Amino acid sequence: MNDFTFYSPTYFVFGKNKESETGKYVKRFGGTKVLLHFGGGSVVKSGLLDSVKKSLEAESITYLELGGVKPNPRSGLVYKGIDLCRSEKIDFVLAVGGGSTIDSAKAIAAGAVYEGDFWDFYQGLPITKALPVGTILTIAAAGSEGSPDSVITNEEGMYKRGASGEAIRPAFSILNPELTMTLPPFQTACGATDIMAHVFERYFTNTKEVEVTDRFCEAVLLTMIKEVPIVVANPLDYEARANIMWAGMVAHNNLCGVGRDQDWASHDIEHELSAVYDCAHGAGLAVVFPAWMKYVYQHDVMRFAKIACRVWGCEMDYDYPENTALEGISRLRSFLKSIGMPLNFEELGALEKDIDKMAETACYGNGRTGEIGGFVKLKKEDVINIYKLML
Amino acid sequence: MNDFTFYSPTYFVFGKNKESETGKYVKRFGGTKVLLHFGGGSVVKSGLLDSVKKSLEAESITYLELGGVKPNPRSGLVYKGIDLCRSEKIDFVLAVGGGSTIDSAKAIAAGAVYEGDFWDFYQGLPITKALPVGTILTIAAAGSEGSPDSVITNEEGMYKRGASGEAIRPAFSILNPELTMTLPPFQTACGATDIMAHVFERYFTNTKEVEVTDRFCEAVLLTMIKEVPIVVANPLDYEARANIMWAGMVAHNNLCGVGRDQDWASHDIEHELSAVYDCAHGAGLAVVFPAWMKYVYQHDVMRFAKIACRVWGCEMDYDYPENTALEGISRLRSFLKSIGMPLNFEELGALEKDIDKMAETACYGNGRTGEIGGFVKLKKEDVINIYKLML
């Protein structure tokens, strides 16, 4: 096991109607003037935004609204939010929405107290200072409600990059599974795929003897395999929504990743897909992961056999463990298909002609030096081969 | 799933030689004058205390020493610590040791800023204010390094009681698995039993559809079943020590317990044993848990069958699930025996003649009103029957 630090100080408030307590928590964590950040339609139409506003007003907290966050959130709106925070002396950023809104809020919170261009953080500068952020989560997916991470798409060139720092971990996050019930099955499944992907990125490691984190990873995956088909069939199942929502947080606050090297090549490979085609991140990951697994499984057949047996319920083939490894990948594909995810370029709307450009950007774009991934180091040629497995 | 809040803001620093960074973390969390609290021999002899002192001195942090914590820590030393904190204007309590030392430090930290008798907290008053506490853990067991709980034995009457409050969650905890390597196999196994018991108390619940926390509970138990026999055979196995140490934290910071009712009758039943006979808490739990399980399993046979199959590797008996449930309990007993734990009163040094008195105190002592446990509510007669199953 590697040495590590683990610090997840977010105050999680989980359950029915908890958004009505937002004002109380903003106050507890020092907010007096709030930037209320959100996307568009559903948060307004459902009455959620009104309920949050009422709760702020009840605590005499003032707020300014900044809506318009899009999936794969853009740098343009972040600049606008930073300007607002500075000119209006905002002291708290409150995100109402999914991972995109939360990531945008984190970028604004960090940029507002930084003299330079906030994009510096997305080129590798660690975030050490930010306004406090609170979240009211509406989609179980990105895990941004408990993570120190943010991913933003730069509009000049349409490439996605991530930034990180303990300062942008939310001070509090309100998780009400009811708020996720209106999500259509496709978006629900995209979110579920993202959650599982966060675990895969951590599961495939070269660090030996990390049984405890292996078991946590498996715990999240087994939960998802049980609960996701239930909500895809019945979006109103509160209990299944609740299990998925909490699993989504744990999948990405790094409890599943401490003490071990991690991979993250598949996220890099997917980020090009969603940046170029603006597809849902989870849908992109559904296409990328089985391809990546097929390309790298021979690097550690027994690890792939382990997940196949423990998570996918395969029988171990003691004579030919690679058969078990491949059967696990095959069951992942079947599972993704069963919940309505795309499995190839065509279903995703991606084009073969863009492969070279995407592989180039994934490996060399924005300061990278030609290699991605921790479990298996991939060069541009490897990334091209992985994209080709998705055709 | 029940509504819940989850807040675990402790900064965990995990790995080799991390105690040499103690001063840095005391400073980060606001300490300038420290009460250095510890037990006795091994912490001094091993040089650990000297290493911690050096690290404090390097940051110009002053300290006063208060050693002498005993297993099942006593109220007398807590009063002494509180007096010291007040008279010397201590602003940080640093525990170097295991759960007993940490629990004693928490009691001192809460009592130092409370005008009344600190024992009020152990009679049910929630702890809302305390000096910050840091820990350097030397035994994987109690989980006190990440919990909001403390258990103290009142010397007037020798009864153990617990207190709780977010204010006594450690600000930071340093977990170096090397520090646990000198622990003899029996103490190691007692700690492991305590860790597993913390999970059992949460696993046996009447709350339905809490798959995600069921899976986390199982993750911790499966880790223990793999790793504990390794360290009992080879105390110097760093990797196994590391897995157990982290599992011990997760078993009790309530990640395994959120969203569900919990039981805790077995802890109440055990507390009488260790209060009366001063036995190791883990050893007491090894005697109590299989007896409690046998007494209550018919309340929810399928939950006992689930843990039997998922954790103990039993085959499900679909015709007679109670056979599977009982086989799981039997495998727990075999496991505890294999790691050197006692399984009955005689092996523990307990006496049949004390049963009535202990059952009386467990159910009625110190403000209780005749019933303990959440999964199955137990009256004095039930507790007597459970003690008798340990003969």
- Enumerate the H helices of A89-210 as residue ranges: 99-112, 185-203
Residue B369 CA, chain-centre distance (Å), reads: 24
Q: Judge whether B243 is closer than 8 Å to chain A, CB to CB.
A: yes
Which domains can be identified in chain B, with CATH numbers?
11-179 (3.40.50.1970), 185-388 (1.20.1090.10)
Cβ within 8 Å, pair A243-B1: yes
Residue B320: predicted pLDDT: 98
The dihedrals phi and psi of A312, each to the nearest 5 degrees, come to: -95, 0
Query: Has this prediction a pTM greater than 0.95?
Result: yes
Kindly report which listed range (A185-199, B217-231, B268-282) carries the lowest average pLDDT score: B268-282
Percent helix, percent strand, percent coil in chain A, to nearest 5: 55, 15, 30
Q: Counting every residue, how long is chain A?
A: 391
Compute the Cα dihedral for B98, B104, B108, B114 and give only its sign. positive
Selection from B14, B25, B19, B18 nearest residue B38 by Cα: B19
Tell whether the model's pLDDT for residue A36 goes beyond 80: yes
B272-309 pLDDT per residue, tens: 998 899 899 999 999 999 999 999 999 999 999 999 99
A366 touches chain B (CB under 8 A): no
In this prediction, residues B144-163 reach a mean pLDDT of 89
Alpha helices by DSSP H, chain A? 22-28, 41-45, 48-58, 75-88, 99-112, 185-203, 211-233, 238-250, 265-277, 281-296, 301-310, 321-338, 345-348, 355-364, 380-388
Could A239 and B208 be called an inter-chain contact, meaning their C-beta atoms sit closer than 8 Å? yes
A210–chain B Cβ distance below 8 A for any pair: yes
Closest CA to A201 of A281, A264, A288: A264
Q: What is the pLDDT of residue A278?
A: 87
Element containing residue A62 per DSSP (H, E):
strand A62-66
For residue B211, list chain A residues with Cβ-Cβ distance below 8 A. 222-223, 226-227, 243
SS3 of residue B386 by DSSP: helix
ipTM greater than 0.85: yes
Question: What single DSSP character describes residue B339?
Answer: T
A8 to each of B83, B198, B204, B247, B253, how far by Cα in Å? 34, 21, 27, 16, 12
> Does position B15 have pLDDT exceeding 90, yes or no?
yes
A257 to chain B nearest CA, in Å?
Answer: 12
Is A211 at the interface with chain B, CB within 8 A?
yes
CA atoms of A273 and A288, how far apart (whole Å):
9
Long-range CB pairs of B154-157 (<8 Å, 24+ gap) are: B154/B75, B154/B119, B154/B122, B155/B74, B155/B75, B155/B76, B156/B75
pLDDT tens readout for residues A148-168: 999 999 988 777 789 999 999
Query: A203 forms bridges with which residues in the sheet?
Result: none
Which residues of B fall within a CB distance of 8 Å from A258? 14, 246
Which tens digits make up the pLDDT trace of A269-281? 998 998 899 899 9
In whole angstroms, give the CA distance from residue A299 to residue A245. 33
- Contact assessment for residue A104 and residue A122, using Cβ atoms and an 8 Å cutoff: no
Quick one: pLDDT at residue A365?
83
Mean pLDDT of B326-331: 98
Main-chain phi, psi angles of A192, to 5 degrees: -60, -40
On the CB side of B141, how many CA atoms lie within 13 Å of its CA?
A: 26
Share of chain A above pLDDT 70, in %: 100
Q: Which residue has the tokens 């006795």?
A: B40
8 Å CB contact of B259 and A14: yes
Read off the pLDDT of residues A211-236 as tens digits, 9 standing for 90 and up.
999 999 999 999 999 999 999 999 99
C-beta separation of B56 from B3 below 8 A: no
Compute the Cα dihedral for B351, B352, B354, B357 and give only its sign: positive
- Give the pLDDT band (50/70/90) at residue B365: confident
Residue B268, Cβ neighbours under 10 Å: how many? 22
Looking at the predicted structure, is the pLDDT value of residue B159 above 80? no
- Give A-chain residues touching B14 at CB under 8 angstroms: 3-6, 258-259
With CB atoms and an 8 Å threshold, state whether A250 touches B247.
Answer: no
pLDDT band at B367 (very low <50, low <70, confident <90, very high): confident
Contact of A313 with chain B, judged by CB distance below 8 Å, is answered with no
Interface A-B, measured as beta-carbon pairs within 8 A, has a size of 120
**Is residue B6 within 8 angstroms of chain A, CB to CB?**
yes
**Distance from first CA to last CA of chain A, Å, rounded?**
38
